Structure formats: structure tokens, C-alpha cells
Chains A and B, each alone.
Chain A
């Protein structure tokens, strides 16, 4: 017993020591600050071009972003084995990849880092685009002039006119707008309407910045110029978010990707937000010692984004261990609370909780109906999965029409987990009665909420992602809690009659 205990303590100590040393190394050698405060926010964006080559010379041209209001270009590099690379910046920035011969599927990467700088003033704009003469087909011209008139009436200047137009075009009940949209995209319609009003405007592509997103595509944005040569961006539908969330990928109109000698080409984007100290060279340093620094930060951005969430799981597991071993809460499924907490992280706490309760309780009712069919377990769970997906679709539709935005994210809930929860809960209901279901359900949700609070904490997220050594410290803590042989908090209450019995007995004496 003693020997077990001491070897365990030593293991934990060594783990903590290793974790501290590694973290110290990150602070000293890699200049990662201990606290996220005095830092710049960076966006790492990675563009991946995919294409099929057919054994002929290939030339790929990708339009590149540049410094713009709010975002300062820090560093960029490309990864494209076997290709010659040339970055041009005369007429808008472009990267040109060329090779003599390529066969089969090709991947080309371009990675860029922007620093977020809200104070950054807009750079002098390029050439204001010429106003194209607009020709509408007969039925459309009436609709267009009515729309323009309506927007004009309610506007004061160029930008408010553009703003009104976005609202009108997004209105599903506006017949004029719907008529235009049946012929062209909303962004295209907006540019033509503005041109008709003698306002210079053009269609550009922008990337919506959302932390940890992968395989995103560019969204159309409309750049509108006022008479005093200032400009603003407008996104065509309000659901796409405010224009300031967008990184403009091009400064002049034109295609984003051009490919010669290949087919089936497409470009997708991954992005990640990081905080690094002002002194650090940021991206450049990461690229420099990628080999020396065998950390997750040397991975492609798409993979880093996955790890940003995955690295939080150990703390969640620690919370579960803590609640089960030290407090004695019963949960349904050992580590299910962590997965529920992950879903909470995606949806935020209250909407997540409500959705979870709704889906599980409706699922329980459905499961009761299934009980009459006498199915085998695997088939039963499979049917519950189908029902859960149906429920999610239903909730998404309902909340969309009711105008609740979070309902849309129901789909992020891990549905296999939900199906198992429902199955377990209903078996529990049959075997132990509703009381036990309430106890375990409440236990799971309390644990999940606690795990959510911990995993959502800014400092903890920062530390776990930037200091991989922290994982060892978490592991040491789990080891220590795992060897605890004392009482659970709830056992104090359970065994209380023993204490009172013995004290009354000693009173008698």
C-alpha cells in the first residue's frame, strides 16, 4: 500500500516537473507570455487549392489579400512541393504557382498571418471602378426602379442608400427584390442597382473570420464608394454577419483562382485566432523553428483548429473525475458529461441546456413507444438515432422560423451521444424508476455545466493551447485524485446515522 502510494506520488511529481519545465521553456525560449493580456490578436488563414492535373504544365494563379482597414499583414508563405512560386503585386497581389509536369491530385497551400488593429486607417484606395451602364430586361427594369426609389426615399447619403438596398434585397416578402433575385445573385443585383443610381460599386470576395473554422469558402461583398472617395463594405444578407468580421481577400474585382492545365480546381480556407506577445515575430518564428519546436503550433492551421478543442478535453475529464470521486455524483455514462460540455461550448450554456433537455425528454417519449416493438438493443439505439436526427431537423426548422439563431446550431450536438443518453435513461427509468433518472440526469448536467465553466475559462483555454506541458499537470492531478481513498462528500450525508448513533451512545455512558 505504502509502496503504491509513494510510486504514485513520484510519478505525479515528475509529471508536474516536466509540465512546468516545458511551460517555462515556452515562456523563455518561444516568448509566449504567461497571460493573454499584453498581446496582439492574430488571425492565421490558410488557403488550400485543390486540382486535378493531367500530366501537362500547370499554372495556378491565386489572388492574395493585403493590408486593409482593421487587419495588418504580418507574414505569409506558401507550401507547394515541386512548384515554382512567384508573388506579384503590381495589379493587386497574386501568387503564381507553375510546374512543367504534374499528374493526379495536387494540393497547394498559402498561409498568411494578419494582426488585428482596429485603429488602422483605411489605405488610399485604388482606382474607383467605372460605372457600368446598366441594362435590365423589360420586367426587371420596373422592379429595379421601384426598389431603387423605395431605398432612395428612406436614405440620406450613399451609404445609407446601400444599407437600405441590402435590407430590401434580404426581405423575402418584397416581390420586386424576389424578381431580381430570380435572375441574378443578391450581390450582383446590388452592384447593378447602385450603378444605376450613379454610385461606383464592385463585387469583391471576403472571408468571414470565425475562430477554428475549416473548409470555408469566400463570400461576396459589395464595396461602395462615396463621392468623397471613402468606401465601405456591405454584406448582402444580414445573416452573413457584419462586414467588419470579414477579411477582404481581393482589392480589385476579378477571379480569385485561375488554373491552366488542370481541372476540378477549388480553393478552401481554414482560420485560427491566436494571441501572441507584441515582441514575438509571430508567424515568422513559428515557421523558422518548426522542426526544433515539435509542438502543435507547427501543424497546418486546419489541424491546429481541431486541437484547440481537443486539448480542452483533459480538463473536462479532470472535472468528471473530481465530481465522481470526491463528491460522489452519479452521472449517466462515465464521460458523457464532457461531451455534453463540448456541445455547450459550441452553443453557449443556456441554449445548450434547453436543447439538451428538450431533445432528451422528447426522445424518452419516443423510446417508450419503441418499447412496444420488442427490438434488440442495437436496432433500438439505431432507431433512436434516426429519431434524434429528425428531432434536430425539426428544432432547427422551428427555431429558424421563430427567428432564434441558436437553434440552428442544434446540429452540432453529438447525436450518437444523445441517442445513447436517451437509451440509457429509458432503461434506467424502467429498472430504477423516474427518481434515479432525475438523480443521474441532474448529476450529468451539473457535471457538464461545471466542465463547461472550466473549459470556457479564458485563461484555461489560453494555457492549455499555448502550453502543452499543462496537459502533464492535468494528468498528475487526475492521478492524485484517482488514488484518493477517503470519503466522498455525499457519503458524509449517507453515513450520518452512524455518527449520530455513536455520539448518542457515548452520551448514554
Chain B
């Protein structure tokens, strides 16, 4: 019994020495302290995030239209005219629920990302469910956002199964502190959610190259579906991505956020969504604790007198600190 307790104690000590951030500390010392409750709607509602991002000139997937009422559903094709593919998303959804991705449309038939063809009636039914709140938190009525399709960069083709990989950057007081790429797998059903079985690959903040990968919180070296070695993963335009993530702080003034980005083949880095309660698995993907990094940003910020640094400078500082 006491042996057991001592083991636990030692393990906790080791984790503390590594600077691993736990859930209690994240909630109390970071989310509670740096994220004012009144600003949560900015990130919990994707439509608000999108409109705000437009004001701050942060690129997001092109907004084709918004459907707010059941009566507007019949006209959804008017919004998607001229676009082969599009994505329908709930504004208040979470965890990738209720997202319908259409790759190709032919008259009244639509092809989903999985290759399955569905009818116009089925799309309208999905929209109707979405607006009545089937996918929103707490079942509140929602609005549907229709976005243009993101075309994945060809370099990532072998690293993902079905879905488009996204990049999560944790931004603390405006400074990017840690990043990972999330690759969908067969187990995650094409979704980039780590707890559903997507792979998280830690990304070096300086180089944009892979550190290591985890699936279900346990290390993996190869993508289970495509067999590609995860070490080979490298992201182009990395500094640009980081700058985009850092600018999201200016936009929301939330001190501790997870920024989800994608790389579009034609438009470059785009902001997908923001998260005011980013998960802790990023530490496992980077084999590194968050706490020392957060502490050094705190130290650095304490030294600055006068106005805050610009986003570009903040990225440079972060890259210097986290070599």
C-alpha cells in the first residue's frame, strides 16, 4: 500500500520536474486567470470568430453563406453556385460534430469526402437538424455556416486518412509556445480529434519539422493507415503560420488559446477555429512539458515596459526561447 503511494508520489515528482501541465493547474492558473469569461463567445461561436477574423485581416476559409432559418434551407444551392465542393458547419458545434464536407456536386447529387453520393434532400435534412440544434452544445438552436472547400497541400497526402490535417498552436499571452499537427486516421473516422483516435505530431517551433507522434496518448512512429514514417513530416511556410496564430491573440485578447490552422493549396495558411480550453495532449506529442515555456513567457512579459510587442516580434522571441 505504502509502496504504491510512494510510487505515485515519485511519478508526480518526475512529471513536475519535467514541467508537465495538469488539468487542475491549466484550469486554475491559466484558463481561469487569462481567459475572461465574457470573451468566450468569440471563440465558441465559429461565425463570430470568422467575422472578427475578417476585421483583423486574418485569412479563413471563404464564407459562402450563412443559413439562420429553416425557410432559407431550400436556397442553399444559390450560395454554393460556382463551387464544386463546400463544407457545412454548425456555428456552435464542438469536436468536429455536424460537419458535412461535399467534394463534388452534380445537379442534385453531392459526393461526400468518403466518396458516398447523397441526394439534395439529405443535405437539406442535415441543414434542418443542424439549425434545430442537434449538433450544438446543449442543443440550443444554431446557424449553419457554408464554407468553400479546403484543398489539402499535396505534401501531406500520405500523412492523413480522408480528412485534411490541421495544425494546433497553443498561444500564451500572444506568444506561440507549442505546436502539433493532427492527422486523421481510420480510427478517428477522418476527423482530426485526438481523443477519437487521430494522431498528434509535435512540431518544432523553429523548424516546422516533426518531433514525434502519439495516438491515444501513446507514442507511434508510423501512420497506421498509410504506413508513412511520421519523422518525415515537415511544414512549409512555418513562420507565416506562427505569425497567423500569434495574431489571433490580438483579435480575441484571450491569454491562453489553442489556434487551429490549415494549409490550403491555393490560399496558404487559414484560421479554422479557436479554442479557449485547449487540451493537454500537445505535451505528449512534443515529449515536453508546457510549464517551463509558459513560465519563461511570463518572465519575458514582466520585463517589457510600455506597449506590447507586435505579432511578428512575438514569434521571433518565441522561436528564440524554444530552440
Which of B18, B97, B133 interacts with A376 by CB under 8 Å? B133
Cβ contacts under 8 Å, B24 to chain A? 325, 484-488
Residues of B within 8 A of A431 (CB): 95, 97
Q: Does A289 contact B (CB under 8 A)?
A: no
CB of B22 within 8 A of CB of A491, answer yes
- Nearest-neighbour CB distance to chain A for B149, whole angstroms, equals 24
A495: chain B residues within 8 A (beta carbon): 15, 20, 283-284
- A contact residues around B97 at 8 Å (CB): 431
Interface flag for B73 (CB, 8 Å): no
Give the residue of A486, A492, A494, A502 whose beta carbon is less than 8 angstroms from that of B18.
A502
Q: Are A491 and B132 in contact (CB under 8 A)?
A: no
Closest to B132 in A: A376
How many residues of chain B have a CB within 8 Å of chain A?
32
- Find out whether the CB atom of A499 lies under 8 angstroms from the CB atom of B28: no
> Does residue B217 face the partner (Cβ distance < 8 Å to A)?
yes
Distance to closest chain B CB from A503 (angstroms): 8
Tell whether B174 is near chain A: CB-to-CB under 8 Å. no
User: Using a CB-CB cutoff of 8 Å, which residues 455-509 of chain A contact chain B?
Assistant: 483-489, 491-492, 494-499, 501-503
Closest to A503 in B: B14
Known: A376-B139, A495-B15, A498-B289. A485 touches B284 (CB 8 A): no
Tell me the nearest residue of chain A to B195, going by C-beta: A432
* Residues of chain B lying within 8 A (CB to CB) of residue A29: none
B23 touching A498 by the CB < 8 A rule?
Answer: no
Report the minimum CB–CB distance from B34 to chain A (whole Å): 13
Instruction: Evaluate contact between A485 and B29: CB separation under 8 angstroms.
Output: yes
For residue A184, CB closer than 8 A to chain B, the reply is no
Complex partner residue of A491 from B23, B95, B138, B288, CB under 8 angstroms: B23
Are A488 and B23 neighbours in the complex by a CB distance under 8 Å? yes
- In the complex where A376-B139, A488-B22 touch, is A499 in contact with B14 (Cβ < 8 A)? yes
> SS class of chain B's interface: helix, strand, loop or mixed?
helix
Specify which of A325, A488, A494 is in contact with B217 (CB 8 Å cutoff).
A494
Instruction: Assess whether B206 is interfacial by the CB under 8 Å rule.
Output: no
Does A373 sit at the interface, judged by CB under 8 A?
Answer: no
In angstroms, how far is the closest chain B Cβ from the Cβ of A241? 44
Candidates B11, B138, B288; contact of A499 at CB < 8 Å: B11
Q: Are B18 and A499 in contact (CB under 8 A)?
A: yes
Taken together as a complex, chains A and B put the C-alpha atoms of A377 and B28 apart, in Å, by 32
A492 touches B95 (CB 8 A): no
Determine the distance from Cα of A109 to Cα of B16 in the docked complex, in whole angstroms. 63
Q: Mark B13-50, 1 if CB is under 8 A from A, else 0.
A: 01110101011110011000000000000000000000
Q: A374-B129, A377-B133, A431-B97 are in contact. Are A498 and B28 (CB under 8 A)?
A: no
A75 to chain B, nearest CB (A): 50
Whether the pair A501, B15 counts as a contact (CB closer than 8 A) is no
A496 touches B214 (CB 8 A): no
Which B residues are CB-close (under 8 A) to A154?
none
Contact present for A498 and B287 (CB under 8 Å): yes
Residues of B contacting A376 in the complex (Cβ-Cβ under 8 angstroms): 132-133, 139
Asked if B217 contacts A486 (CB within 8 A), the reply is no
Nearest Cβ distance between residue B221 and chain A, in whole angstroms?
13
In the assembled complex, which residues on chain B have CB atoms less than 8 Å from the CB atom of A300? Answer: none
What is the CB-to-nearest-CB distance from B187 to chain A, in angstroms, rounded to a whole number? 11
Would you call A498 and B22 a contact (CB within 8 A)? no
Least CB distance, B133 to chain A, in whole angstroms:
7
> Closest chain B residue to A427 by CB distance?
B139
Q: How far is the CA of A377 from the CA of B214 in the complex (A)?
A: 37
Pairwise interchain contact B12-A487, C-beta atoms closer than 8 A: yes
Whether A328 is near chain B, meaning CB under 8 Å from some CB there, is yes
Interchain CA distance A325-B24 in the complex, whole Å: 7
Minimum distance in angstroms from A20 CB to a CB of chain B: 28
| Chain B positions within 8 Å of A488 at CB level | 22-24
The 10 lowest CB-CB distance pairs between A and B, nearest first, are A377-B139, A485-B25, A487-B22, A492-B11, A499-B14, A501-B287, A485-B24, A487-B12, A491-B22, A495-B20
New contact pairs (13) apart from A486-B25, A498-B20, A499-B14, CB-CB < 8 Å: A431-B95, A431-B97, A485-B28, A486-B22, A487-B22, A487-B24, A488-B24, A489-B8, A494-B284, A498-B15, A498-B283, A498-B287, A499-B15
Question: Footprint of A on B, CB under 8 Å?
Answer: 8, 11-12, 14-16, 18, 20, 22-25, 28-29, 95, 97, 129, 132-133, 138-139, 195-196, 214, 217-219, 283-284, 287-289
Could you pull out 7 A-B pairs where Cβ atoms are within 8 angstroms?
A492-B12, A494-B284, A495-B283, A497-B218, A498-B20, A499-B14, A502-B14
